[in-house]
Amino acid sequence: MKYFSALFGVFFSTVVFSDVKVDDYPLGMSSEELTQRLLKDGFYIYELSKDSIKAKKLAIDLNDFSNSKNPDEAKAEFPQFSVSTDVDFAFCEKKLYRETVQSFYYNELINIWAARKSIYKYLDDNKAVQTDIRLSQTEEDNNVGFAYKIDRSALGGSAKGEENVTVQLYVPTKPNDRRRLSMKYRLENKWFCPE
């Protein structure tokens, strides 16, 4: 019971918005350090190997509690819990070289604009150059992605090479999809994974 209470506390503390910033998990981190940080930050790891870590953070969708059709009906899978952030990290020689982070925004849409500002600040601080606009090839899908490059060698830090960044605001096409909007970004630098 004490474990459920602790778990419930983590879920409740992550209501409706993502708290992952673009520079929370910098490329080049070791897999051991990243694993510890994810656990500390309230993620549950659902896939772990020497080459990758996949984890999720859950939030409580308070609308599910207030709009329950049959409150007496027992549901084994806790439908009030929704994924607030889904992360996928790839490693090479135990160094993080690619990360994909997708955060979902349910009610307070102002949070997606804060996340967007955080990503664009990261790009501006690192002198990123836009390289591409990626339009969805599906007619009913209105999503657009933007691609950028950061020249790490020119910035003079410990990391070198080109960091590729892709940013996408995602609007679901299915009307019954509970996720209203999501922000997805991907960072990759093959300098940490030479061929």
pLDDT digits (tens, 9 = 90+) for 30-71: 999 999 999 999 999 999 999 999 999 987 765 554 454 544
Q: Tell me 94's DSSP state.
A: T
Counting every residue, how long is the chain?
195
Q: Which has the higher per-residue pLDDT, 110 or 79?
A: 110
| Burial of 67: CB neighbours in 10 Å, binned 0-12, 13-18, 19+ | exposed
Residue 54 contacts residue 146 (beta carbons within 8 Å): no
**One-letter amino acid of 183:** M
| Residue closest to 97 by CA, chosen among 164, 8, 173, 177 | 164
Mean pLDDT (the chain) is 79
User: Poorest-confidence range of 27-31, 102-106, 117-121?
Assistant: 102-106
Q: Which strand (E) or helix (H) includes residue 192?
A: none
